[in-house]
Structure formats: C-alpha cells, structure tokens
Structure 1
Amino acid sequence: MPRAGLTSERVVRAGAELADEVGLEAVTVSALARAFGVRTASLYSHVDGATGLQEGIARLALDELADLAGEAVAGRSGKDALVALASAYRDYAGRHPGRYAATRLRLAADSVAVPAARRHATLTRSVLRGYPLDEAYAVHAVRLIGSVVHGFTALEVGGSFEHSAPASEESWARILDALDLTLRQWSSSAS
C-alpha cells in the first residue's frame, strides 16, 4: 500500500525542486526517498525508477515552460514574439536550472514527456509566422532558434560569461537582433 500523501505528481514535483537546488544529475530515487523519509522501494509505485523520475521532471518542466512561453508570445509577432519566446526560456533557466536541464534530456519516442516537447516546436513555429519565411525553411529556422537560445542559455547558466565584459545582457540583446535579421532575410538569401 502506498504511503499516505505520496503521489506520482508529488514525487516528481519534489524531484524538480531538488533538481533546482542540487542539479538534475544529483536527483535519484534514493535521494528523494531520503527527503520524504521513506524507503527507496516506496517510491517505485509512483515513478518508474530513475528514467521514469527524469521523464516526469522533464514533462513537468516542459509543460511549465511551454505555458510561460505561450503567455509571453500571445498577441505578439515578429521580433517582439521572438524576444518574448527567447526571454521566457532564458528566464526560466535562470530561476529553475535543474528543471531547465531536464528539458534538454534526450527523450525516447514513447516517453511521457514527448507531447510536452512537441508544444515547444509548435510555439516556435507560431513565432515564425511573423517572418517572411518559406515553409521549406521552417524546420531549419526552428533548429536555429533552439540552438541559439539554448546554447546561450546553457553557457550563461553554467557561468561562462561571469568573468568578462560586457554583461551577458548586452550580448543577449545583440544576438536576438542578429537572429531577427537572419529570419527576416532568410527567404531572400537562402539558396
């Protein structure tokens, strides 16, 4: 019989909170069991081992982030939408580094987190509607945006920009300007 008060959702949420505190790689079923004051075996009725726990955290984080990004993008187009989307990701990573790391996990095709991950591609494609981009280039543009936003964010969260000037905020603004310019000119410059 499961311990009173423990649910899959509560276990996953506790895992996400722990990931933000100590890093995703340190989150294990046994670490959560210690936090709940139960035996490790007690949690296996709520999560399917380490993989199930990580996928649960990924799904939670992907859903949270898609909700935030969707709200940020709503009613915006073009560069305003691009900046809102990119900034939502960057801000989330700064507030929730462990959860953000979970959004970058490679997911199995049958993972419970796949539908949440697909929401992000849909959001990015909606931002691209504000640009004169041929549909043939959409997948490349989605990948470009993801690479730029996640690459910069990963470096920043990892502390790579802390020891140099100017502040990373200035670089972020210039990078988004360049990304906007690239997207506005892509159809005419693509071969």
Structure 2
Amino acid sequence: MARAGVTPERLAWAAAELADEVGFDNVTASAVARGFGVTVASLYAHVANAHDLRVRVALLALEELADRVGDAVTGRAGKDALVAFGNAYRAYAQQHPGRYAAARLRLDPETAARSAGPRHSAMARAILRGYGVPDEEQNHAVRLLGSTFHGFVSLEASGGFEHSGDPETSWTRALDALDVALRNWPSPSA
C-alpha cells in the first residue's frame, strides 16, 4: 500500500535536494526513503529502482535548467542571448551542484527525447541562427557551447580556479571568445 504523501514527483524532488547537499553520486534510495520515514521497499512502490530515481532527478534538473535558460534568453539576441544563456547555465550549476550533476546523466534515447534536452538544443540553435551559423554547422557549434559552459563550470566547481584567482574575468573572456568565434564561424571544409 502506498504511503500518504509519497509520490514519484516528491521522491524526485527530495532526491534532487539531497543531491545538492551531498552530491548526486551520493544519493541513495535508502537515504531518500529515510527522509520520508519509509522503507526502501516502500519507496519502490513509487519508483522502479534506484536508477529510475536517478533518471527522475536528471529529468527534473533538465527541466529546471531549460526553464531558467528560457527565461534568461527570452527577448534577447546575439551576444546578449549568448551571455544570458551562459550565465543562467553557470548560475544553475553553482546554486544546484547536485542537480547540475544529475542533468549530465546519460539517458537512453527514448527518455532523452522526451526530456527537456531538446529544449536546450533548440534554444542554443536559436542563438546560433542569430549569428548566422549555417544549419549544417550547428551541431558543431552547439557542442562548442556545451563544452565551454560545462568545462568551465565543472572546473570551477572542483576548485580548479582557486589557485589563480578571478574566475569572473575568465568567464567574461570565455563568453567574449565564444561571441567572436560564432560571429566568424568558419565555412564547412570542401
């Protein structure tokens, strides 16, 4: 029998909160069950298994991040949109490190297709169209944006910039460099 107040959505939310506190890799079904005062077996009345719980956290994080980025870029174009996108992405990673890690979880193709992942791609492609990046080059440019954003926030989160000071200026320079690269996107090789 299902325990009152326990739902798959509430479990995902609780696991996401826990991920921000202890790290996504340290979220366990038993810790989430303890938080609800239920047994792990009872938890599995609402989610299929620990992997299902992790996927639900990833989907929640992707949705939250897409909402933030969407709000940030609405009504903006060019460098303003690029900076808003990057800043929203970085702020989310800083404010929700566990959820951000969850958003990086590899999803099966069917789950990925129904996630907010395609919204992320569509927003990035809208920015790229504003720069005139040709359709056939957009996959490469989306990967450049994702690699830069993820690389920077991952290094920053792991303390990689603590020894050299002022990551804010480095972040601004990275966004400036992306703007230049997108404005001067090379023609496809023959």
* TM-score, normalisation: structure 2: 0.95
Q: Which residue of 2 aligns with 1:62?
A: 62
Q: Which residue of 2 aligns with 1:140?
A: 140
Letter in 1 for 2:3: R
Deviation at 1:114, TM superposition (A): 4.2
Letter in 1 for 2:144: L
Q: Which residue of 1 aligns with 2:130?
A: 130
Q: Distance in 2 between matches of 1:89 and 1:103?
A: 11
Deviation at 1:110, TM superposition (A): 2.5
Structure 1 unmatched ranges of 5 or more: none
Q: Distance in 2 between matches of 1:28 and 1:113?
A: 26
Which residues of 2 match residues 23-172 of structure 1 at below 5 A? 23-111=23-111, 114-165=114-165, 167-172=166-171
Deviation at 1:112, TM superposition (A): 6.6
Structure 2 unmatched ranges of 5 or more: none
| Aligned residues of 2:62 and 2:115 also touching (Cα < 8 A) | no
RMSD (Å), alpha carbons: 1.3
Q: Distance in 1 between matches of 2:119 and 2:48?
A: 24
- Identical-pair percentage: 58
Give the count of matched residue pairs.
189
Q: 4+ residue stretches of structure 1 with deviation over 2 A?
A: 110-115
SS of residue paired to 1:145: helix
SS of residue paired to 1:177: helix
Out of 116-125 and 76-85, give the one that drifted further. Answer: 116-125
Q: Distance in 2 between matches of 1:19 and 1:37?
A: 18
| Aligned residues of 2:73 and 2:81 also touching (Cα < 8 A) | yes
